[in-house]
Structure 1
Amino acid sequence: MTQQSSSHIGIHLRLIGMAILWGTSWAWGRVVAQHMPPITGSTYRFIIASLSLLIWLYSVDRFKSIRDLTAKQWLGLIGTGATGIFAYSLFFMTALQWLPAGKASAVIALNPAFTLLLAAWLFKEKLNLQILLGIGLAIFGSLYAISQGNPLKFLSGNVGLGEYLLLGCVLSWVSYTLIGRAVIGGIPALTATTVGTCVGAILLFITSIFVDGAEGWQRAIHAPFVAHFSAIGMALGATTLAFSWFFNGVKTLGAGNAAAYIALVPVFGILISALWLGEPLHSSLIIGVPLAITGMMIMNKGQKK
Structure 2
Amino acid sequence: MMTRDSFGPHLRLVGMALLWGASWPAGRVIAQNMPPLAAASLRFVLAVMVLLPWMYCAGGFAGLKGWSARRWLGMGAAGATGVFGYASFFLLGLQHVPAGKAALVITLNPVVTLLLAVWLFRERINRVIASGMLLAALGAVVVISHGRPLEILQGAVGTGEALILGCVACWVSYTLIGRWLLTGVDALSATAVTSTVGAVLLLAASLVVEGPAGLAAALHGTWQAWMALLFLAFGATALAYAWYFDGVKALGAGAASGYITLVPVIGVVFSALLLGEEIDASMLVGGAMAVAGTVVMNWGRRPAAAALSTRRVAG
TM norm structure 1: 0.90
**What is the match of residue 239 of structure 2?**
241
Is it true that 1:131 corresponds to 2:126 in the alignment? Answer: no
**What is the match of residue 296 of structure 2?**
298
Q: Secondary structure at the match of 1:172?
A: helix
Cα distance per residue 1:79-102 (max 9 Å; x no partner): 000111111111111000000000
User: Of 173, 176, 179, which residue of structure 2 is paired with 1:178?
Assistant: 176
1:1-305 to 2 correspondences below 5 Å: 15-246=13-244, 254-255=251-252, 259-304=257-302, 305=304
Amino acid at match of 1:55: P
Cα distance per residue 1:177-223 (max 9 Å; x no partner): 22223344332222111111110110011111111111101110111
Query: Which moved further from structure 2: 227-236 or 127-136?
Result: 127-136
Structure 1's 164 and 257: CA in aligned 2 closer, same or farther, altered over 3 A? Answer: closer
User: How far apart are residue 154 of structure 1 and its match?
Assistant: 2.1
Structure 1's 258 and 118: CA in aligned 2 closer, same or farther, altered over 3 A? Answer: closer
Tell whether the 8 Å contact from 2:46 to 2:234 is kept in structure 1 after alignment. Answer: yes
User: How far apart are residue 259 of structure 1 and its match?
Assistant: 4.7
Structure 1's 196 and 14: CA in aligned 2 closer, same or farther, altered over 3 A? Answer: closer
Q: Secondary structure at the match of 1:145?
A: helix
Structure 1's 86 and 211: CA in aligned 2 closer, same or farther, altered over 3 A? Answer: same
Tell whether the 8 Å contact from 2:109 to 2:257 is kept in structure 1 after alignment. Answer: no
User: How far apart are residue 149 of structure 1 and its match?
Assistant: 1.1
State the distance in 2 between where 1:176 and 1:14 align: 19
Q: Which runs of 5+ in 2 are unaligned?
A: 305-315
Structure 1's 31 and 165: CA in aligned 2 closer, same or farther, altered over 3 A? Answer: same
Structure 1's 57 and 70: CA in aligned 2 closer, same or farther, altered over 3 A? Answer: same
Tell whether the 8 Å contact from 2:31 to 2:94 is kept in structure 1 after alignment. Answer: yes
Q: Which runs of 5+ in 1 are unaligned?
A: none
Tell whether the 8 Å contact from 2:145 to 2:156 is kept in structure 1 after alignment. Answer: no
Q: Secondary structure at the match of 1:152?
A: helix
Cα distance per residue 1:1-47 (max 9 Å; x no partner): xxx66x88887665443222101101111111111111111001011
Cα distance per residue 1:92-115 (max 9 Å; x no partner): 110000000000001221011011
TM norm structure 2: 0.87
Tell whether the 8 Å contact from 1:76 to 1:184 is kept in structure 2 after alignment. Answer: no
- How many residues end up aligned between the 2 structures? 300
Cα distance per residue 1:121-157 (max 9 Å; x no partner): 3444443212211111111112212322122232211
Structure 1's 125 and 231: CA in aligned 2 closer, same or farther, altered over 3 A? Answer: same
Percent of aligned positions that are identical: 48
User: How far apart are residue 247 of structure 1 and its match?
Assistant: 5.6
State the distance in 1 between where 2:248 and 2:179 align: 16
Cα distance per residue 1:142-176 (max 9 Å; x no partner): 22123221222322111211111111111111122
User: How far apart are residue 231 of structure 1 and its match?
Assistant: 0.8
Amino acid at match of 2:233: A
Structure 1's 188 and 8: CA in aligned 2 closer, same or farther, altered over 3 A? Answer: closer
Q: Secondary structure at the match of 1:234?
A: helix
Q: Secondary structure at the match of 2:107?
A: helix
State the distance in 2 between where 1:233 and 1:209 align: 23
Amino acid at match of 1:186: G
Amino acid at match of 2:46: I
Amino acid at match of 1:278: G
State the distance in 2 between where 1:122 and 1:10 align: 27
State the distance in 2 between where 1:90 and 1:263 align: 22
Structure 1's 10 and 274: CA in aligned 2 closer, same or farther, altered over 3 A? Answer: same
CA RMSD of aligned residues (A): 2.3
